[in-house]
Amino acid sequence: MSTLRQSPTDPAFVQDPYPFYAAARAEGPLHHWEEYGMTAAFSHAAVAHCLKDRRMGREAPPECAPVIPERLRAFYEVEAHSMLELEAPRHTRLRRLVLQAFTSRRIAGLGPEIAALCDTLIDDFPEGPFDLIPAYANRIPVIVITRLLGVPESMADDLLGWSNAMVAMYQARRTPEIEAAACQAASDFAAFLRGYVEERRTRPADDLITQLIAAEEDGERLSTDELISTCILLLNAGHEATVHATGNGVKTLLEHGMGAEVLTPDRVEATVEEILRHDPPLHMFTRWIYEDLDVMGRPFRRGDRIALLLGAANRDPQVWEDPEVFDPSRPVKTNTSFGAGAHFCVGAPLARLEMQVALPKLFARCPGLRLTEMPRYADLYHFHGLERLVVARG
């Protein structure tokens, strides 16, 4: 197994990480990525295997659990109750309780409401060039989650600020200033939600917080801390992925001269899947190893970590023909953009629905939409999304 060197904050890599992935994958499924100090999986087979193997997981083995410094305690107190960072049996219990409230039927019923929101946002587009990310891509998921949670829509900007600050903790460019901002955001976000959770315990409403409170399995319910962390996770993970996927998708469609013709009711699902495959919003997801094992002939020991490169797996030529080509007409195959196995993203149906509604609306209402600046990706790795997407309506 070779050692690779590639800074995740290098400007060229930020703009286009795919040549690095392709070169590495051509040499083998696993390589040591020096900057991260761990083995990374580049092939679809290796990534899919690790996502589903229950001998690996997100929660650190007790002997490997890092000591949390006091200055970061506020952030990690929220993370300590997050499904994303837990394994069975606690993860299993939390996920089942959350899915009682976050049902596929409830998500599917949001379609008309999302469509109306898209129309309202498009009505407010300016006449000249404007940045589509804050005007459209950012607004849809954050407003939808405020409505789902039952918190005031006027809080959307606060929720968005808290979410952006917290998610920055997972980026390669993390600094002490970013850490301080994330801890403050975690404290503010948790304090805000705590008040709503306590109110809903005595005054139920038709919202997700109330349904999470009511969810019960074998006599167990979510604690207040678990409720707060779950609501934060639904916003942070869902918002980050949907914003980047929507922005990346609009960029890709415009660069390829495509629009409404590939977003018709009979084609929109395949087009969204191709967007998610071709330029996914999340490129790396790590796993701890829980017991000595082999992956693709490579031995691992308990306490090792492995980086699963979703962006590399989605362009594996062993699975997709001409994988570097954006082709909405290609047969849909399962990509890794939302993970797999026990940690498959609970918000994936909502993210897909938001894209399947928002993209056709945008191109139907703005048939002459065009780029007015070359889009640039932001320094966000292991996320992958645009810093600006300046467009004009025609």
Give the residue, 34 or 106, on which the prediction is more confident. 34
Q: From the CA atom positions of the chain, what is the Rg in Å?
A: 21
In the prediction, which pLDDT does 106 show? 87
19 is written with which tokens? 């040549």
CA angle 264–266–269, rounded 5-degree value: 85
How large is the average pLDDT for residues 22-40?
Answer: 97
Q: What is the pLDDT of residues 373-387, one digit of tens each?
A: 999 999 999 999 999
CA 245 to chain centre: 9
d(CA 354, CA 16): 26
Whether 206 has a pLDDT exceeding 80, the answer reads yes
In the prediction, which pLDDT does 392 show? 98
**Exposure pattern of 155-179 as b/e (b: 16+ CB <10 Å)?**
ebebbbebbbbbbbbbbbeeeeeeb
In the prediction, which pLDDT does 103 show? 85
Q: pLDDT category, 142, cuts 50, 70, 90?
A: very high
Q: What is the pLDDT of residues 261-291, one digit of tens each?
A: 999 999 999 999 999 999 999 999 999 999 9
- Bridge-based pairing state of the strands 386-388 and 390-392: unpaired
The domain that contains 118 carries what CATH number?
A: 1.10.630.10
**Exposure pattern of 228-256 as b/e (b: 16+ CB <10 Å)?**
bbbbbbbbbbbbbbbbbbbbbbbbbbbee
In the prediction, which pLDDT does 81 show? 95
360 is written with which tokens? 């056709």
Q: What is the pLDDT of residues 226-268, one digit of tens each?
A: 999 999 999 998 888 999 999 999 999 999 999 999 999 999 9
In the prediction, which pLDDT does 344 show? 95
**Number of domains, the chain:** 1
d(CA 104, CA 300): 37
Whether 36 has a pLDDT exceeding 90, the answer reads yes
Whether 217 has a pLDDT exceeding 80, the answer reads no
Whether 160 has a pLDDT exceeding 80, the answer reads yes
Q: pLDDT category, 219, cuts 50, 70, 90?
A: confident
Domain with 325, as residue range(s), is: 3-392
Question: Model-level pTM greater than 0.85?
Answer: yes
Sign of the Cα torsion 205, 141, 159, 60 reads positive
In the prediction, which pLDDT does 42 show? 98
Which bin fits 341, alpha (ψ -120 to 50), beta or left (φ > 0)? left
Q: What is the pLDDT of residues 366-375, one digit of tens each?
A: 999 999 999 9
Q: pLDDT category, 110, cuts 50, 70, 90?
A: very high
114 is written with which tokens? 């999302």
Average pLDDT of the chain, as a whole number: 95
How large is the average pLDDT for residues 133-137?
Answer: 98
276 is written with which tokens? 């998610």
In the prediction, which pLDDT does 220 show? 83
Q: Is 32 exposed, middle or buried (0-12, 13-18, 19+ CB in 10 A)?
A: middle
Quote the percentage of the chain above a pLDDT of 90: 92
d(CA 249, CA 386): 10
Q: Are 280 and 337 in contact (CB under 8 A)?
A: yes
d(CA 46, CA 337): 14
How many CA atoms are closer than 13 Å to the CA of 47, on its beta-carbon side?
A: 31
Give the residue, 240 or 10, on which the prediction is more confident. 10
In the prediction, which pLDDT does 216 show? 77
Q: What is the pLDDT of residues 46-91, one digit of tens each?
A: 999 999 999 999 999 999 999 999 999 999 999 999 999 999 999 9
